[in-house]
């Protein structure tokens, strides 16, 4: 389990100023009405929480999962890849389980990935997160190289400018452009202090209740398991089908 880094220094980068508004995202909370007898695909339903996180699946699911995650966490990537065929394609699709994603933004590369996923918004957040994790080995090595060699060149930039420079260097911005996220929206997200403040606040709140990532909460109870092999039986025991 990856242990989160303290956000005290990261939180200090937020400076005073009016927050820029993001262009609205298309809501995915109201799926198309299905004909009688046709099962609803709950993987097409996503809602935003007041804290800005995303819940994927049936809001009235029997099993409600919260996943605290970091996009730079190798165990989180493994959980995402290994769980997908069952967690998403069976449990969530059937409506028996929903999952709330709570990224913690534990370091600068993670903040860049989280900003871009939040920028996609709603259902697109969940799909973007899947791809970011699936390609973690590609972009994370570039991110580490940027932090070691080039980050000092951006120390005079704004905090969001520094984070954006890293996301550009490691290929995540290009990845999101290829997924259909517009350049204008990306520009707006990396100019939005309120968005960064929200991510940092969520990370600080998470650090009060978790010891590392991924951290899994099932129906209000934090479980000790953090691998898919350990979590799946707990979900089935709770009624996920």
Q: Is 23 helix (H, G, I), strand (E, B) or coil?
A: coil
Quick one: pLDDT at residue 149? Answer: 80
- Tens digit of pLDDT for each residue in 196-215? 999 999 999 999 999 999 99
Average pLDDT over residues 36-61: 90
Angle between helices 122-134 and 136-149 (to 10 degrees): 80
* pLDDT of residue 151 exceeding 70: no
> Which residue, among 203, 128, 116, has the nearest Cα to 160 in the 3D structure?
116
The neighbouring-strand residues paired with 221 are 218
Domains of the chain, first to last: 41-238 (3.40.30.10)
Contact 104, 207 (CB under 8 A): yes
The neighbouring-strand residues paired with 215 are 68
Report the alpha-carbon distance of residue 228 to residue 82 in Å, rounded.
Answer: 6
Report the alpha-carbon distance of residue 221 to residue 223 in Å, rounded.
Answer: 6
- pLDDT band of residue 3 (cuts 50, 70, 90) is low
Pull the structure tokens for residue 216.
């899994």
Report the phi/psi class of residue 36: left, alpha or beta, with left for phi > 0 and alpha for psi in -120 to 50: beta
Residue linked to tokens 């699946």: 57
- Tens digit of pLDDT for each residue in 153-199? 766 678 899 899 999 999 999 999 999 999 999 999 999 999 999 99
Contact 109, 143 (CB under 8 A): yes
Q: Is 98 helix (H, G, I), strand (E, B) or coil?
A: strand
In the chain, % of residues over pLDDT 90: 76
Q: How confident is the prediction for the chain on average, in pLDDT?
A: 87
Containing 195, the helix (H) or strand (E) segment is helix 193-207
- Tens digit of pLDDT for each residue in 98-124? 999 999 999 999 999 999 999 998 999
State the pTM of this model.
0.84
């Amino acid at each position: 389990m990856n242990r989160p880094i303290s956000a005290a220094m990261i939180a200090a980068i937020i400076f005073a100023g009016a927050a820029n508004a993001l262009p609205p995202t298309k809501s995915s909370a109201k799926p198309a009405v299905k004909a009688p007898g046709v099962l609803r695909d709950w993987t097409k339903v996503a809602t935003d929480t007041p804290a800005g996180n995303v819940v994927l699946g049936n809001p009235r699911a029997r099993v409600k999962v919260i996943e605290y995650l970091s996009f730079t966490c190798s165990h989180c990537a493994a959980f995402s890849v290994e769980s997908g065929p069952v967690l998403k394609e069976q449990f969530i699709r059937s409506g028996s389980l929903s999952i709330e994603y709570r990224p913690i933004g534990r370091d600068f590369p993670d903040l860049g990935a989280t900003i871009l996923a939040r920028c996609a918004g709603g259902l697109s957040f969940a799909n973007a997160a899947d791809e970011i994790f699936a390609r973690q080995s590609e972009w994370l090595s570039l991110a580490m190289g940027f932090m070691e060699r080039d980050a000092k060149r951006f120390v005079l930039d704004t905090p969001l400018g520094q984070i954006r420079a890293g996301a550009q260097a490691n290929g995540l911005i290009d990845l999101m452009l290829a997924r259909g996220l517009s350049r204008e929206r990306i520009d707006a997200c990396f100019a939005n202090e309120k968005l960064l403040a929200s991510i940092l606040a969520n990370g600080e709140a998470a650090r009060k209740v978790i010891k590392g990532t991924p951290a899994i909460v099932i129906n209000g109870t934090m479980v000790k398991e953090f691998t898919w092999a350990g979590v799946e039986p707990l979900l089935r025991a709770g009624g996920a089908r």
